[in-house]
Amino acid sequence: MTPFQISFCCANTDPEPWLAGLHAALPQAQVSVWQPGAPAADVAVVWQPPQQFFDEQPQLNAIFNIGAGVDALMKLRLPPQAVVVRLEDAGMAVQMAEYVCQAVIRHFRDLNAYADDARVGHWTYYKPRQRSDFPVGVMGLGVLGARVAQALTHFEFPVNGWSRTPSALDGVRSFSGAAQLDDFLASSRVLVNLLPLTPDTTNILNRAHLSRLQPSGYLINVARGAHLVEDDLLALIHSGHLSGALLDVFRTEPLPADHPFWREPKITLTPHTSARTLREDSIAQIAGKIGALLRSEALAGIVDPVRGY
């Protein structure tokens, strides 16, 4: 195989183990960390790179994103001939399923209230709830959403799913397109967001849509902060229409210290950790796809720049 250059440009990531792993998986490649003025490369491995990176790398053939979501990349001017390839699962789907299932169960079983009671020495029972009263709606039924929806069916929650095109997942009621969004929301009490962030989905978790959830609705946002209109969530919690939310992603990350979400007891926060990029799985997937590219084989996980995901 001919030698080729990989340029690594990933924010908030220690490059050394990635370089060592990529080199071990692709010994014919020269792998280096990008710096301004670095020589031109054939392939990029990136996470939230600056525009300057692409301005200086106009000849790239492929851009591998070390995350599932490509919204940060879609905002940049990319070399038009380069394919953008995202991570597909790479160990994230099971993490997302465990995170969302524990959140739904925690909410359904009043486990936060039991934890509060235990802290003050109260032995209290809450009335068991009916699973049939807790239909869960999963927005986005892609690699992660489908895994989450199916995991929830194993706990026998009624599960609804909403996607752009109709889906056929066992035990999941399919809704699709803008025309079925209201029915999907009205059929759900707990809402899980696993949509990609695109112009069509930005601010989709707004007052009008969240108001359509069944009373005492609960929001789990594990996709992107810009899906959610933050003031609308607070207003709906304060009015009592929503009983609370679990948020893993925010418009500004890290969440600023003075943000009202920190002080809202009905909101539980985690720091964008529901499904982490796993280095070894990701390197194996990227190396496999680079091999496929070099052999001119078809690749899965190529982003459609028109759809934005």
**Contact residues for ligand GLV (CB under 6 A)?**
67-69, 277
Out of 143, 159, 242, 286, which residue is the one contacting ligand NAP (CB under 6 A)? 143
SS3 of 97-142 = HHHHHHHHHHHHCCHHHHHHHHHCCCCCCCCCCCHHHCCEEEECCC
CA 113 to chain centre: 28
* Residue 195 binding result from ligand GLV, ligand NAP, none, given CB thresholds of 5 to 8 Å by partner type: ligand NAP
- Residues 148 and 159: their CA atoms lie apart, in Å, by 10
Of residues 27-66, those binding ligand NAP (CB under 6 A) = none
Q: With the CA atoms of 136, 139, 141 and 143 taken in that order, what torsion angle do they form, in degrees rounded to the nearest 10?
A: -100
| Helix, strand, coil content of the chain in percent (nearest 5) | 35, 20, 45
Q: In angstroms, what is the minimal distance from the CB of 276 to ligand GLV?
A: 8
Out of 84, 219, 229, 248, which residue is the one contacting ligand NAP (CB under 6 A)? 248
Out of 120, 165, 168, 304, which residue is the one contacting ligand NAP (CB under 6 A)? 165
Asked if 279 touches ligand NAP (CB under 6 A), the answer is no
Catalytic residue among 147, 164, 189, 224: 224
224 has catalytic annotation:
yes
**Phi and psi at residue 163, to the nearest 5°:** -145, 175
Catalytic residue among 272, 279, 295, 307: 272
272 has catalytic annotation:
yes
CA angle 99, 102, 104 (to 5 degrees): 105
Comparison of 76 and 294: residue with beta carbon closer to ligand GLV: 76
Residue nearest to ligand GLV (CB): 67
Residue 122: partners with Cβ closer than 8 Å, 6 or more residues away: none
Coil, helix or strand at residue 224 = coil
* Residue 266 binding result from ligand NAP, ligand GLV, none, given CB thresholds of 5 to 8 Å by partner type: none
Query: In which residue are the tokens 């183990």 written?
Result: 17
Q: In angstroms, what is the minimal distance from the CB of 36 to ligand NAP?
A: 28
CA angle 36, 41, 45 (to 5 degrees): 85
Asked if 149 touches ligand NAP (CB under 6 A), the answer is no
Binding site residues, ligand NAP, CB under 6 A: 68-69, 92, 140-145, 162-165, 194-198, 200-201, 222-224, 248-249, 272, 274-275, 309
**What is the set of active-site residues?**
224, 272
